[in-house]
């Protein structure tokens, strides 16, 4: 099979060693005679899988014992509702850094009992920066940020100072790709389909004292109940949790989050360095805020953009089309994207540029 490089924003590239292990184990997991897709979520086989996945994730992210780790369904977008449902009482605050932040804000605004405040916005810079947040003296139930903006290509390297308020982070597109201190957050959530597993699984990391307080919540949306049931209130996404565990171990074998961040910085530098000297392509995001995992770039001409995307696809550099809201191109450099994929992309871009002179 011909080598391809998948730069999709999600569902995204997964580590080849993990995919090979899945292939080898798929028909009979641990010689059980049953596929991983057939085993009961109440079996000891699966209990071992979910326990190991949680332990390995705790080790990788240095998650303290006073935080619960949940494996839930619904995707990151469902958390736009679950966060205000579980943590919101009166006043909640958001920092708007792009499309996914706006969607989170819109969901919070559907709760008539909540006053929703936007503390800062990157709209004035066309989402090419992370906005400065003025000193936060008011009391909010939480302050929500999106740590990495998949569409716009911006990221938080330094977290905002939110005073004594609880910080909530949507970490869907850069969880495990760069180091954050879990204890700086009250709650973290992340859809799995970018750096962890196939779509259908969401990771929630929540400080235990923040959840389980509100009564009468819908069972499937109640962090406290999900924690009390060990993420097994109903049938969880068994296959996805199994794959997440394999990816967590692969990350350990790669040296952990800190080592992976070094690799991701190296990959991103190769692409940004080329973009900054190119006469055809450019990166719209201001250098201080450039994402390590999602790199948008443009030629400034829609027809030229499409010509490049078509040529890149023929060269087996796949899924480089930018999000429909911003156009252009986007290369997603998640953990499983090898550095050879980035060097091949840059080499191809240089050849394409030379051909357009």
If one counts every other C-beta atom within 10 angstroms of the C-beta of residue 109, the result is: 14
Whole-prediction pTM? 0.97
- Indicate which residue of 52, 103, 115, 170 is catalytic: 170
E strands present in 148-193: 148-149, 154-155, 167-170, 187-191
pLDDT at 230: 97
Q: Do 330 and 7 meet the contact criterion of CB atoms below 8 Å apart?
A: yes
pLDDT at 357: 72
- Indicate which residue of 100, 141, 222, 267 is catalytic: 100
Q: Is 100 a catalytic residue?
A: yes
If one counts every other C-beta atom within 10 angstroms of the C-beta of residue 277, the result is: 9
- Separation CA 19–CA 96 (nearest Å): 36
Taking the chain, what is the end-to-end CA distance rounded to the nearest angstrom? 34
- Indicate which residue of 96, 141, 194, 250 is catalytic: 194
Per-residue pLDDT tens for 317-335?
A: 999 999 988 999 999 999 9
- Please list the ranges in the chain whose pLDDT falls under 70: 1
Length of the chain counted residue by residue: 357
pLDDT at 150: 97
- Separation CA 16–CA 302 (nearest Å): 34
Q: Is 279 a catalytic residue?
A: no
- Separation CA 186–CA 143 (nearest Å): 10
DSSP secondary structure of 294-347? EEEEB-S-HHHHHHHHHHHHHTTEE--BPPTTT-SEEEE--TTS-HHHHHHHHH
The strand order across the sheet containing 143-146 reads 67-72, 202-207, 187-191, 167-170, 143-146, 91-96, 115-121
- Separation CA 82–CA 297 (nearest Å): 34
pLDDT at 1: 63
pLDDT at 325: 87
Per-residue pLDDT tens for 253-312?
A: 999 999 999 999 999 999 999 999 999 999 999 999 999 999 999 999 999 999 999 999
Q: Is 250 a catalytic residue?
A: no
Q: Do 205 and 223 meet the contact criterion of CB atoms below 8 Å apart?
A: no
If one counts every other C-beta atom within 10 angstroms of the C-beta of residue 16, the result is: 11
Q: Do 104 and 80 meet the contact criterion of CB atoms below 8 Å apart?
A: yes
Count CA atoms within 13 Å of residue 265 on its CB side: 12
């Amino acid at each position: 099979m011909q080598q391809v490089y998948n730069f999709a924003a999600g569902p995204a590239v997964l580590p080849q060693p993990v995919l090979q292990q899945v292939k080898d184990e798929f028909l009979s997991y641990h010689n059980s005679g049953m596929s991983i897709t057939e085993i009961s979520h109440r079996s000891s086989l699966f209990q071992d899988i979910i326990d190991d996945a949680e332990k390995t994730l705790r080790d990788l992210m240095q998650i303290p014992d006073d935080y619960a780790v949940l494996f839930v369904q619904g995707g990151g977008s469902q958390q736009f509702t679950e966060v205000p449902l579980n943590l919101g009482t009166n006043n909640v605050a958001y920092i708007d850094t792009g499309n996914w932040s706006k969607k989170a804000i819109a969901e919070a605004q559907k709760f008539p009992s909540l006053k929703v405040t936007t503390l800062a916005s990157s709209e004035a810079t066309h989402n090419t920066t992370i906005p400065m947040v003025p000193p936060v003296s008011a009391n909010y139930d939480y302050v929500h940020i999106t740590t990495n903006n998949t569409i716009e290509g911006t990221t938080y390297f330094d977290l905002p100072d939110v005073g004594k308020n609880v910080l909530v982070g949507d970490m869907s597109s850069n969880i495990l790709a760069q180091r954050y201190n879990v204890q700086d957050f009250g709650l973290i959530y992340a859809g799995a389909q970018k750096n962890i597993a196939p779509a259908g699984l969401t990771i929630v990391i929540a400080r235990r004292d923040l959840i389980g307080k509100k009564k009468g919540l819908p069972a499937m949306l109640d962090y406290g109940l999900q924690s009390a049931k060990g993420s097994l209130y109903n049938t969880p996404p068994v296959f996805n949790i199994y794959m997440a565990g394999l990816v967590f171990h692969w990350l350990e074998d790669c040296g952990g989050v800190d080592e992976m961040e070094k690799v991701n910085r190296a990959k991103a530098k190769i692409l940004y360095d080329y973009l900054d000297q190119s006469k055809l392509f450019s990166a719209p995001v201001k250098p201080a805020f450039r994402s390590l995992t999602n790199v948008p770039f443009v030629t400034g001409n829609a027809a030229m953009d499409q010509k490049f995307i078509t040529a890149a696809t023929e060269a087996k550099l796949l899924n480089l089309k930018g999000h429909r809201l911003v156009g252009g191109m986007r290369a997603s450099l998640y953990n499983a994207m090898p550095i050879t994929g980035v060097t091949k992309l840059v080499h191809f871009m240089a050849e394409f540029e030379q051909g357009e002179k």
